[in-house]
Amino acid sequence: MGVHEPMEVRCLSTNDAWDLFKKKVGQNTLDIHPDIPKIARKVAGACRGLPLALNVIGETMSCKKTTQEWYHAVDVLKTYAADFSDVKEKILPILKYSYDNLEGENVKSCFLYCSLFPEDALIDKERVIDYWICEGFIHGVESKERAVNQGYEILGTLVCASLLQEGGKYDNKSYVRMHDVVREMSLWIASDLEKHKGSYIVRAGVGLNEVPKVQNWQLVTRMSLVNNKIKEIDESHLECPNLTTLLLQNNRCLVTISGEFFRSMPRLVVLDLSWNVDLKVLPEQISELVSLRYLDLSESNIVRLPVGLQKLKRLMHLNLESMLCLEGVSGISNLSSLKTLKLLNFIMWPTMSLLEELERLEHLEVLTVEITSSSVLKQLLCSHRLVRCLQKLSIKYIEEESVRVLTLPSIQDLREVFIGGCGIREIMIERNTVLTSPCLPHLSKVLIAGCNGLKDLTWLLFAPNLTHLSVWNSSQLEEIISPENAAGVEIVPFRKLEYLHLWDLPELMSIYWSPLPFPYLSLINVQNDCQKLRKLPLDSQSSVAGEELVIEYGAEEWKEKLEWADEATRLRFLPSCKLVLYDV
């Protein structure tokens, strides 16, 4: 094998990719049969715009004269591209050179781990970093925050090496993706090359109905059966002494898992069972996974947790979000290594006794929680230990008599807040907090719904990194930022705001009293009854540095009555207005 330069994985547009592929195949071959050009487009599409793949596969296909050969190429590229002629010899070794140039075995391990996700999947950055931390790829740092920062640095390294691509940001989460051909290379290294041979079993999103047959389970270290149709796991004969990661999420037909299955994997550290909506029972033998550090049961319908779960002394990450059938949880304080606990949209809303258990978790650094009791809310916000850990907070169904004024302390790590169905009259920031400093420096997403006592949301001044703001069905809300309540505060709000949703706010008259720069704002969405909102805080210089702003509205009458700062502002933003009707 010759010496290869590291290559940049930059993809062509669909049209440019087809032009390159067509050139390599040659017009003579394309003209042999009228069906070949149509099939050739599918082959080119399977290359996903990667110039190296288009060149090599195009040259290989230039001598294929029958439609059968072309259809076979489509089948091979859609199943396991490494079996395609010349892929192993001419493509994967060149891509592997970029892998070989990665510094450190931990970075290489992190890259190979990304191949566990389905083909063309968006990979949640925070999720994969949590996997890496629990697998031990990121080590030498005690703090979860510092470990996460190191994880982001590794992702940046892989993106710079063109082994991963930025996948965008959706619903307040950031993603990367792995090009299909790069994924084939990663699986080739992780599964076929001598050093790792047989260690990765990846059957993600291929329609499996059962656990696959494997020649030698002793070799397997990581297995991904994500996005399949497995109904039952009763593999009592397995011996997986070296398995450390098992990804089983989103097998929506999965009903039962035998206890013996878990007994076969004593070294398991990462177990993801999320989004298995038919799974109602978790076997007691899961408590024998004494090496387990990561357990995700979110979005499942498990009714009760095994009593022995509290024996998992090494467990660092436990996700119980959106478990709407769970009847109870106790003994959390026995999970002495727990650093991350997620309880958002959790049907067993925290009680005072549960909060007392949480306060005994000495290593807890990340907490997401939903509160429906005023006394529990007060206890939570008075706990310095728990406030320090809060990343997502949901407050629901608290009546006016219980909490007329919600006073928030400075919560440094808070990322998301949802307040719904509450009779709260006012939200304030703690008075002993310096008013010129950001009390909520990481808060990026706020949703307010059905809070009919609120008149304004001036507290948002102290969330300088807010990107998403949604306010719905709050009948008394008059202003987002009140000049009276903001008096003496020299802060320009919404500098990072990207999305603003305002629905059913019949008394809303003002977002802000003067135009704002909005450098990142891409969408204002005004729907249903917001007829008193006649002016948006825009002028001709707003949103200059950001994306082209779209203003969606639900009633033509609202747009007709909209008042603009001046003619230049009207000319700038009127073309951005778009009638969009939603089914509610």
SS3 225: coil
DSSP sequence for 371-413: E--HHHHHHHHH-HHHHHHEEEEEEE---TTT-SEEEE---TT
What do you get for the CA distance between the two ends of the chain, in Å?
A: 61
CB distance 211 to 233 below 8 Å: yes
Task: Give the whole-angstrom CA distance, residue 172 versus residue 570.
Answer: 31
Tens digit of each residue's pLDDT (9 = 90 or more) over 342-358: 999 877 677 889 999 99
What per-residue confidence (pLDDT) applies to 546? 62
Longest CA pairwise span in the chain (Å): 81
What per-residue confidence (pLDDT) applies to 551? 96
Angstrom CA distances, 342 to 317, 345, 375, 507, stand at 8, 9, 21, 36
Task: Give the whole-angstrom CA distance, residue 293 versus residue 15.
Answer: 47
Phi, psi of 101, deg, nearest 5: -85, -5
Task: Give the whole-angstrom CA distance, residue 452 versus residue 95.
Answer: 58
What per-residue confidence (pLDDT) applies to 547? 66
What per-residue confidence (pLDDT) applies to 3? 45
What per-residue confidence (pLDDT) applies to 57? 79
What per-residue confidence (pLDDT) applies to 403? 82
Burial annotation 124-159 (CB, 10 A radius, 16+ → b, else e): bbebbbbbbbbbebbeeeeebeebbebbeebbebbe
What per-residue confidence (pLDDT) applies to 1? 40
Task: Give the whole-angstrom CA distance, residue 27 versus residue 552.
Answer: 47
| Per-residue pLDDT of the chain in tens (584 residues, 90 and over written 9) | 444 455 455 678 889 889 988 898 999 999 999 999 999 998 888 777 777 778 777 877 888 889 988 988 888 776 655 555 556 665 676 677 678 878 899 999 999 999 999 988 999 999 999 999 999 999 877 788 899 999 999 999 999 887 898 999 988 899 999 988 889 889 988 887 656 678 999 999 999 999 999 989 999 999 999 999 999 998 777 899 999 999 999 999 999 999 999 999 999 999 999 999 999 999 999 999 999 999 999 999 999 999 999 999 999 999 999 999 998 788 899 999 999 999 998 776 778 899 999 999 999 999 999 999 999 999 999 999 999 999 999 999 998 677 889 999 999 999 999 999 999 999 998 866 555 567 899 999 999 999 999 999 999 999 999 999 999 999 999 999 999 999 888 899 999 999 999 999 999 999 999 999 999 999 999 999 999 999 999 999 898 766 689 999 999 999 999 999 999 999 999 999 999 988 65
